[in-house]
Amino acid sequence: MRTFMWAPTRRAVLAGMAATAVVLALPGGRALAGIVMASASAAVDTLLDLVEQRMAVMPDVARHKHNTGGAVEDLPREAQVIAAVTARAKEAGIDPDLAAAFFQAQIDASKIMQNSRITAWKAAGQGKFADVPDLATSIRPTLDRLTPAMVATLKEALPALKTADATATIEARIARYAAAHPDDAAAFRRAVEPLRVLGKT
Protein backbone atom coordinates (compact mmCIF):
# COMPACT_ATOMS: atom_id res chain seq x y z
CA MET A 1 0.00 0.00 0.00
CA ARG A 2 1.45 3.30 -1.07
CA THR A 3 1.37 6.34 1.23
CA PHE A 4 0.61 9.62 -0.46
CA MET A 5 1.89 12.89 0.97
CA TRP A 6 0.02 16.08 0.12
CA ALA A 7 2.19 18.70 -1.52
CA PRO A 8 0.71 22.22 -1.62
CA THR A 9 0.26 23.72 -5.03
CA ARG A 10 1.72 27.10 -5.87
CA ARG A 11 -1.78 28.54 -5.76
CA ALA A 12 -2.33 27.16 -2.23
CA VAL A 13 0.97 28.59 -1.02
CA LEU A 14 0.13 32.01 -2.45
CA ALA A 15 -3.32 31.87 -0.90
CA GLY A 16 -1.84 31.05 2.49
CA MET A 17 0.63 33.92 2.24
CA ALA A 18 -2.17 36.29 1.31
CA ALA A 19 -4.28 35.13 4.25
CA THR A 20 -1.35 35.65 6.64
CA ALA A 21 -0.83 39.15 5.30
CA VAL A 22 -4.50 39.95 5.85
CA VAL A 23 -4.35 38.72 9.45
CA LEU A 24 -1.27 40.81 10.19
CA ALA A 25 -2.96 43.84 8.71
CA LEU A 26 -6.11 43.47 10.81
CA PRO A 27 -6.76 45.98 13.64
CA GLY A 28 -6.23 43.18 16.12
CA GLY A 29 -2.68 42.78 14.89
CA ARG A 30 -2.04 46.46 15.44
CA ALA A 31 -3.63 46.22 18.88
CA LEU A 32 -1.35 43.33 19.78
CA ALA A 33 1.70 45.33 18.69
CA GLY A 34 0.42 48.24 20.75
CA ILE A 35 0.06 46.02 23.81
CA VAL A 36 3.62 44.73 23.38
CA MET A 37 4.98 48.27 23.09
CA ALA A 38 2.92 49.47 26.06
CA SER A 39 4.38 46.63 28.12
CA ALA A 40 7.88 47.59 27.01
CA SER A 41 7.22 51.24 27.88
CA ALA A 42 6.07 50.20 31.36
CA ALA A 43 9.26 48.16 31.67
CA VAL A 44 11.29 51.33 30.99
CA ASP A 45 9.72 52.96 34.04
CA THR A 46 10.32 49.83 36.09
CA LEU A 47 13.95 49.71 35.00
CA LEU A 48 14.44 53.34 36.01
CA ASP A 49 12.83 52.53 39.36
CA LEU A 50 15.32 49.69 39.84
CA VAL A 51 18.22 52.04 39.03
CA GLU A 52 16.96 54.38 41.73
CA GLN A 53 16.60 51.50 44.19
CA ARG A 54 20.19 50.47 43.56
CA MET A 55 21.43 54.00 44.01
CA ALA A 56 19.47 54.31 47.27
CA VAL A 57 21.73 51.62 48.74
CA MET A 58 24.91 53.60 48.02
CA PRO A 59 24.82 55.93 51.04
CA ASP A 60 25.06 52.86 53.28
CA VAL A 61 27.95 51.56 51.16
CA ALA A 62 29.69 54.92 51.59
CA ARG A 63 29.08 54.95 55.36
CA HIS A 64 30.44 51.42 55.70
CA LYS A 65 33.59 52.30 53.76
CA HIS A 66 34.02 55.54 55.71
CA ASN A 67 33.83 53.57 58.95
CA THR A 68 36.26 50.89 57.84
CA GLY A 69 38.57 52.99 55.68
CA GLY A 70 37.86 50.66 52.78
CA ALA A 71 38.60 51.73 49.22
CA VAL A 72 35.72 52.95 47.08
CA GLU A 73 37.03 51.12 44.03
CA ASP A 74 36.96 47.32 44.23
CA LEU A 75 38.06 46.05 40.83
CA PRO A 76 37.75 42.31 41.61
CA ARG A 77 34.17 42.87 42.79
CA GLU A 78 33.40 44.96 39.70
CA ALA A 79 34.77 42.22 37.43
CA GLN A 80 32.65 39.65 39.28
CA VAL A 81 29.49 41.71 38.82
CA ILE A 82 30.12 42.30 35.11
CA ALA A 83 30.92 38.62 34.50
CA ALA A 84 27.70 37.55 36.21
CA VAL A 85 25.67 40.10 34.28
CA THR A 86 27.21 39.05 30.96
CA ALA A 87 26.36 35.41 31.65
CA ARG A 88 22.76 36.31 32.56
CA ALA A 89 22.43 38.48 29.46
CA LYS A 90 23.55 35.65 27.18
CA GLU A 91 21.02 33.30 28.80
CA ALA A 92 18.29 35.90 28.37
CA GLY A 93 19.15 36.61 24.74
CA ILE A 94 20.37 40.16 25.38
CA ASP A 95 23.44 41.69 23.78
CA PRO A 96 26.06 41.03 26.49
CA ASP A 97 27.99 44.17 25.55
CA LEU A 98 24.90 46.29 26.16
CA ALA A 99 24.24 44.60 29.51
CA ALA A 100 27.88 45.03 30.51
CA ALA A 101 27.83 48.72 29.56
CA PHE A 102 24.61 49.25 31.52
CA PHE A 103 25.97 47.65 34.67
CA GLN A 104 29.33 49.37 34.32
CA ALA A 105 27.32 52.59 34.40
CA GLN A 106 25.68 51.44 37.65
CA ILE A 107 29.10 50.77 39.14
CA ASP A 108 30.43 54.15 37.98
CA ALA A 109 27.38 55.90 39.45
CA SER A 110 27.89 54.16 42.77
CA LYS A 111 31.53 55.27 42.88
CA ILE A 112 30.54 58.86 42.12
CA MET A 113 28.12 58.80 45.05
CA GLN A 114 30.56 57.15 47.43
CA ASN A 115 33.48 59.40 46.58
CA SER A 116 31.48 62.60 46.94
CA ARG A 117 30.18 61.58 50.35
CA ILE A 118 33.42 60.25 51.78
CA THR A 119 35.33 63.31 50.58
CA ALA A 120 32.79 65.60 52.25
CA TRP A 121 32.81 63.59 55.47
CA LYS A 122 36.57 63.64 55.69
CA ALA A 123 36.64 67.39 55.11
CA ALA A 124 34.08 67.87 57.87
CA GLY A 125 35.92 65.58 60.30
CA GLN A 126 33.01 63.13 60.41
CA GLY A 127 33.52 60.30 62.87
CA LYS A 128 32.28 56.76 62.47
CA PHE A 129 28.59 56.25 61.79
CA ALA A 130 26.50 54.06 64.07
CA ASP A 131 24.22 51.23 62.98
CA VAL A 132 25.56 50.89 59.45
CA PRO A 133 24.55 47.66 57.67
CA ASP A 134 27.39 45.24 57.03
CA LEU A 135 28.71 45.30 53.48
CA ALA A 136 29.18 41.54 53.06
CA THR A 137 26.12 40.23 54.88
CA SER A 138 23.52 42.91 54.23
CA ILE A 139 24.39 45.45 51.54
CA ARG A 140 25.85 43.20 48.86
CA PRO A 141 23.06 40.61 49.09
CA THR A 142 20.60 43.45 48.49
CA LEU A 143 22.53 44.54 45.40
CA ASP A 144 22.81 40.94 44.22
CA ARG A 145 19.02 40.57 44.41
CA LEU A 146 18.55 43.67 42.28
CA THR A 147 20.90 42.48 39.53
CA PRO A 148 18.75 39.68 38.00
CA ALA A 149 15.66 41.88 38.19
CA MET A 150 17.50 44.61 36.29
CA VAL A 151 18.70 42.19 33.60
CA ALA A 152 15.20 40.77 33.10
CA THR A 153 13.61 44.21 32.98
CA LEU A 154 16.26 45.46 30.56
CA LYS A 155 15.19 42.71 28.15
CA GLU A 156 11.51 43.65 28.50
CA ALA A 157 12.27 47.34 28.01
CA LEU A 158 14.52 47.04 24.95
CA PRO A 159 11.83 47.53 22.27
CA ALA A 160 10.73 50.78 23.86
CA LEU A 161 14.24 51.94 24.75
CA LYS A 162 15.03 52.21 21.05
CA THR A 163 12.38 54.88 20.52
CA ALA A 164 12.44 58.64 20.93
CA ASP A 165 9.60 58.40 23.46
CA ALA A 166 11.81 56.42 25.82
CA THR A 167 14.56 59.02 25.49
CA ALA A 168 12.06 61.69 26.53
CA THR A 169 10.93 59.52 29.46
CA ILE A 170 14.51 59.09 30.62
CA GLU A 171 15.28 62.80 30.30
CA ALA A 172 12.19 63.59 32.38
CA ARG A 173 13.30 61.10 35.04
CA ILE A 174 16.78 62.65 35.08
CA ALA A 175 15.24 66.07 35.71
CA ARG A 176 12.95 64.72 38.43
CA TYR A 177 15.78 62.87 40.16
CA ALA A 178 18.04 65.94 39.99
CA ALA A 179 15.36 68.07 41.62
CA ALA A 180 14.94 65.58 44.47
CA HIS A 181 18.63 64.63 44.83
CA PRO A 182 20.74 67.50 43.45
CA ASP A 183 23.98 66.18 44.94
CA ASP A 184 23.56 62.87 43.11
CA ALA A 185 22.27 64.19 39.78
CA ALA A 186 25.53 63.44 37.97
CA ALA A 187 25.56 59.90 39.32
CA PHE A 188 22.02 59.22 38.12
CA ARG A 189 22.74 60.63 34.69
CA ARG A 190 25.74 58.31 34.42
CA ALA A 191 23.62 55.34 35.53
CA VAL A 192 21.02 55.84 32.80
CA GLU A 193 23.30 57.05 30.02
CA PRO A 194 23.53 53.66 28.23
CA LEU A 195 19.72 53.59 28.13
CA ARG A 196 19.34 57.20 27.04
CA VAL A 197 21.52 56.80 23.96
CA LEU A 198 19.63 53.74 22.65
CA GLY A 199 16.86 55.92 21.32
CA LYS A 200 19.37 58.05 19.44
CA THR A 201 21.09 55.25 17.55
In a domain, 100, yes or no: yes
In a domain, 29, yes or no: no
CATH number, domain with residue 79: 1.20.59.10
Residue-wise DSSP of 43-73: HHHHHHHHHHHHHHHHHHHHHHHHHHT--S-
Treating both helix axes as pointing N-terminal to C-terminal, what angle do 27-68 and 164-180 enclose, rounded to 10 degrees? Answer: 30
In a domain, 114, yes or no: yes
- Per residue, the 3-state secondary structure of 173-188, as one string, reads HHHHHHHHCHHHHHHH
In a domain, 26, yes or no: no
Domain that holds residue 101: 42-200
In a domain, 6, yes or no: no
User: Tens-digit pLDDT profile for the chain (201 aa)?
Assistant: 444 333 444 444 343 343 334 333 445 555 544 554 667 889 999 999 999 999 999 999 999 999 999 999 999 999 999 999 999 999 999 999 999 999 999 999 999 999 999 999 999 999 999 999 999 999 999 999 999 999 999 999 999 998 989 999 999 999 999 999 999 999 999 999 999 988 776
In a domain, 74, yes or no: yes
Supply the pTM of this predicted model: 0.81
Domains: count for the chain: 1
In a domain, 4, yes or no: no
